[in-house]
Each structure stands twice: as structure tokens, then as C-alpha cells.
Structure 1
Amino acid sequence: MTPSSALLAPAAALDLDARAAFCVALARSAGEIAREGFAARAAAGPDAGIGMKGPQDFLTETDTAVERHIKARLAESFPADGFLGEETGGTVEGHVWVVDPIDGTANFARAIPHFCISIAFVADGEIEIGAIYNPALDELHFARRDHGATLNDRPIRVSRTSAYTAACVELGWSNRLPNATYLAVLSDLLERGANVRRAASGALGLAYVADGRSDGYAELHMNPWDCLAGLLLVREAGGRVGPFLALDGLAKGGGVLAAAPGIASGMSAATGIPLEP
């Protein structure tokens, strides 16, 4: 099979077992680089310089090093697969790995151990594999489509919360939309009785919905590398999610919603983001 024909092969013809095992190992090896960078960052102290790509858009040397490592390993092992990364870009065509080398860079840069590596594999319009790894806490969330979701190899499920007065949800912020829009959603969720948090890592926010530590996550615009692995995790853990890929999110990004079933409809109404059937 030539590389071009492999790109066109249906997902059923791909060796997803091999890719799943590789994804877990890749997340952990990339995590070693991130862990070393985090230790160095913490030792440098708060006065160390922080690179900026734009307003509230941070960049560290570790972002670049982790993405370089992941991209090189994928090219060696699955050369016919495409690649889309936050730092180096890539393609949205064919079967593609979608990577955020450090999600939560603002936390990472300030020595806050709430950041992660997010890796997803997409084929035929479906998220087939997803991994989110926080190396600071050694927590690896992993999911494969129709195979369930795990945290450090233990099965996980979304929460059973159904009352907003008992719900803890996270609302991500994006400078792509007016602050007034964000504040309107925040106000709606607070009026429903929810406790609303923001921890500055969308990927981990989604992972925490999958394992029940949070009841919902929403962000009015996210890039695909921030959310694809997390959306698969929540779906495989029994939660409800929005139709991100169906709305051309792989190419353009878009609104993200993931929630426990008991509060999903209310979060959809508050955010204006629809739910998958």
C-alpha cells in the first residue's frame, strides 16, 4: 500500500490496536520532556521570561520540544498518517494525529501543575483514539472509540449529577468572542445554581468531566488540538458532547460542550452549543 492510498483507506483497514498502544507510549515519552521542562521552569522562578504568541497566548521552549518529539515519533512509526499540531500546524486531510504539546501553557509558565499533553487520532470524521496526560501528577486519561475510557488503566465514568445546585462546571474563555458573550453564559450558569470554575486547561477540563471530578465543561471557541481527545473521553465515559467535527471543527475550531447527562441540556441552552443526538 502506498502512502497516498493509506490516507484514503477506511478506518476499519487501519491497525488501530497498534496506534492505540503507540499513543499511550507516546504520551508518556512526551511527558518526560514536559516534566523536565516544568521542573526547570519552576526552578527559574516567576521572574523568568515568558514567550508570547499573542494576548494571553503563551509559548515556552517546552511546547516546541514536546511537539517536535511527537511529530518525529509519528513520522517514524506511521509515515502515511497526517499531523496537525498547535505549534507547527499541518493538515486536516486523511487520517490525522491532532496534538497540543502543552495545553495550559499559562499554568506551566507559572509553575502551576495543571497542564497536559493532548493527542488524538481522527479517521473518516471520527475521533478514534485520544490521550490526555498530566505528567506533573502522572495522570493518563485514555479512550478508544467504542472501547470505553480510563484513567491510569482504571475505567472511568461521568458523574450522576442532575441538580444544578449540586453541579460544579468549568467555563473556558476565548478572546475570539466578545467578553459580553462569555459573561452572559457565565451569568446563565450561575443563575441555574452551578458552581462555575476556570482552571486554564481546556483539555484537562474535559478529562475531569470524563472521570467525574467535574460535571461539565464548555468553551465558546476551541481549537481541535485542545478538545478532540477530551471529547472522545467524555463520550466514552458516558457523557454528552457537542458535534464539534460535524460542524467543521477540525478545520475551523468551534464551540465545545461536554457534560454529564443530567445537566447536559441546561448547559446546551446556556451556551447555545447543540448536543449530539
Structure 2
Amino acid sequence: MHTIRVSEMIDEQKFNRFHLQILLCCIFIIICDGYDMFMLGTILPSLMTEWKITAVEAGLFSSYALFGMMIGALVFGPLADKFGRKKVILICTVIFSIFTFTSGFADTPTSFGIQRFIAGLGLGGVMPNLIAIITEYAPKKLRSTLVAIMFSGHALGGVVVSLGAMYLIPNFGWRAVVWLGALPLIFMPILYKMLPESLNYFILKNQKSQLADVLNQVEVNGKYTANDHYVLHEKSKNDSTGFPVKQLFKKGRTVSTIMFWVAFFMCLFVMYGLSTWLPKIMEGAGYELGSS
């Protein structure tokens, strides 16, 4: 029986078809995530006109989804460690796809807002798990690059919804833009087949056969079997246990942790605030909705 240090083996691999497969799956999901998140800005002027709501009421729509994202990230992140990242990613994708689609049938602001909140749960849960699974399988030299490439799909989703709305809203109304958010459901069987489960989950559940199958795809000429002994990474005496967030404030990391949080808060504040209100601001300045 051989002892396989999984993390070290993954780090040493070259980019191959298996890595490309994971990357494409994650890019597709994050594009759909970006489409859903930036969608509100494209339809907000139409919602305000149809439902005769104020800017304050319209702003709540964005807040509902963002509150859902915050809760989703906090809940589905830990759940992925217990039930597997693949399962959580697919469940979250189904959640935001279904409730985005059904929000297109909403006839009141309240109904629309509730469904945006539930969709936000899925949006928030899927993003950190996509980053985690890319990081887990990526070769060490390409890890940051692959995460950056994958995450750029979020902005691409914003481009797609903007271009799509230019055609859909004048011809079919804002609901058509929302209904298109159900597209990931069509590809769910492909995603289920192509996206691998987390390495940590395989080891935690002692699923050696499944782990060996995946590692033989990671390493083209690999000959791993269920009889091998698998270790994700070597534990050191400095490894900590307990509530992990506490570790962010230990060993002199308090100031840097707070500064990172402030930087991310301001970045997201600008990004989501601008994406939500820019079309309405431009329309108010005299531009046509399509140009906005």
C-alpha cells in the first residue's frame, strides 16, 4: 500500500483536459451568476415605470439579493465541507436559476423582492465554492491564474445581460430578461457529469475508489487504486482547531483582516451600486434605455 500526498501530487501536475473541463464548468456557472446579479440594473427602469415605485423602493430589490448572498455564503460554505462542494454548487445553481425564473412572473414588488432574496441565497453560496474547487484542483503554478480566469466570468455575465437586455426589453419586455436566467437548468445534467467532487470530501468520507478515479484523470498516466492510503496534506503542530474565523485575528492579523474586509466592502459597494443604478442615471440624463 502506497501513501499518496494528494495536495503535493495536484501541485506538480501540468494543465490538462481534466483541468480545462473543471474550468469551463466553473466559468459557465459564474457567468450565469454574474448575469443574475447584474440583471437588476438592466430591468430596474422598466420595473419603476410598470409598478410606479420610488427609487428607495427600487433600491430594496438590490438589497434583498445582496442580503441573500451574504447569508448564502455563510451557510453554504460550511455545508460544502460536510456534504461536498459539487453537491452544494449544483444545489445553489438550481436555487438561483429557479427563483430568478419565477420572479419573472411576479406582479407585485413584494413578490419580486422575496424571490430575489431566495435567489441571492444561491448566488452567495455558489461563488466561494467555485473558487474553492478551482483552487483545490489547480496546479500550483497556475492556481492564481485559473482562479482569475474563472472569476472574470462574473463580469462577462454582466456584459451578456446588458447586451441581451438591449434586444429583449424593447421587443419582449423586462420579464424575458429574467426568464433567461433559467438557462443553467438545461445544462444541469452536463454539469453533474463533468464537475468533480471535492478532494477533501472524498478523503473525509473515505471514498477511495472515487478519489482514485479522479486522481487518474488529474494525472494522465496515474495508477491510483482504492488500496492506496491518501493524505490531503500533512498536519503540522501549528494547525489550529475550533472556529476558523478567530484565526484571522490572531498572530498580529487583526489590522490586515479588517483592512481586507474594508477593501472588499468598498469594492462591492461601488460595483453593485453602479451596476444597479447606472442605467437609470443615464436614462435620467436623456439617454435611451438601450444605450444606458
TM bin (shorter chain) = under 0.3
Comparing both chains, which one has the higher relative contact order based on Cα–Cα distances under 8 Å and sequence gaps of 6 or more? 2
What TM-score, normalized to structure 1? 0.24
More strand by share: 1
Name the structure with the higher helix share. Answer: 2
TM-score, with length taken from structure 2: 0.23
Flag the structure with larger Rg: 2
